[in-house]
Amino acid sequence: MTILVTGGAGFIGGNFIYYQLKNHPEDRIVCLDKLTYAGNLETLEEALKQDNFRFVKGDIADMDCVEQLFSEEKPDIVVNFAAESHVDRCVEDPGIFVRTNVLGTQILLDASRRHNVKRYHQVSTDEVYGDLPLDRPDLFFTEETPLHTSSPYSASKAGADLLVLSYARTFKLPVSITRCSNNYGPYHYPEKLIPLMIANALGDKPLPVYGTGENVRDWLYVEDHCAAIDLVMRKGREGQIYNVGGHNERTNLEVVKTIVRELGKSEDLITYVTDRPGHDRRYAIDPTKISTELGWLPKTTFDEGIRRTIQWYLDNREWWEHILAGEYQTYYERMYGKR
């Protein structure tokens, strides 16, 4: 098969491409990525050496670009990772989130209709459900949890999900959706919590924690997520949503302290900064559906995954140091410098 992966130069998309090349070498992988600030061609350096991989620079919100690529490659499966995804950035500029996450999804859906793809898969997020109270650890997001978005980012992802489902009903397009908890692992862009803390701790720089650090996230190792997407796009029921969670809940402060401890640094580096507007309190996913129907379960505990992640950043300093030397420094100072 030919599988079109959009946003494949990003964190989860890049890991997914490597998962496909390793586990399905008989398939051809085509990556479409705009290479915005979070898209890094260095992430795909090894993939570019493979004969069954092609990279195309382009924007999913560019109809002409998308149509040309579909005409050339005639993909059997489309997996859409391409998205603006950092909540802090959506507070600064909501418009780019709507353009990429909603309009871009619609353009991909229309192209998928015209070219009769066998499966269109949308990679979504648990943030479309809003948040859960900290004092109710018995509550979890299920596929039936009502959408209740908290930010322009999550609203744009919810809008994209609804578009995908509408194309299934109106046009009979074979679609599926996965909604995942927070991912971590190799190639994670350094603005996100875990890689930011690793990079700062290695440089003995302050570790900025929002508020009191009590916000809870369910952490999912990225390779486990890739395995789940692979199962859903190949064997999942058409028109269905599958929640993908790691059963690894931690407060943000617990995550930061774990990283500090693993690196042998002092907790004195931890600093508390003004909380993010509309900051969700707790995310927690119930993955019963994907487990029951497809046999998926996360294989990686948080303690194991965080050690593997830290080791990757130690072994690949050049990758993230290139990023930190560029535009990101300006952004970092704007977001955290005066808090």
List the catalytic residue out of 18, 120, 129, 153: 153
Q: What are the backbone angles phi and psi of residue 186, rounded to the nearest 5°?
A: -60, 150
Indicate which residue of 33, 59, 127, 280 is catalytic: 127
Structural element, H or E, at residue 249? strand 249-251
Spot the catalytic one: 33, 59, 84, 126. 126
Active site residue 262: no
**Token code pair at residue 335:** 């977001």
Q: Is 127 a catalytic residue?
A: yes
C-alpha distances (whole Å) from 51 to each of 43, 58, 73, 94, 281 are 17, 21, 15, 39, 45
Residue 129 is among the residues annotated as catalytic for this protein: no
Asked whether the beta carbons of 47 and 18 are under 8 A apart, the reply is yes
DSSP letters for 190-221: TTSHHHHHHHHHHTT--EEEETTS--EEEEEE
DSSP for 132-154, written as a single string? --TT-TT--B-TTSPP---SHHH
285 phi, psi to nearest 5 deg: -105, 140
Question: Catalytic amino acids?
Answer: 126-127, 153
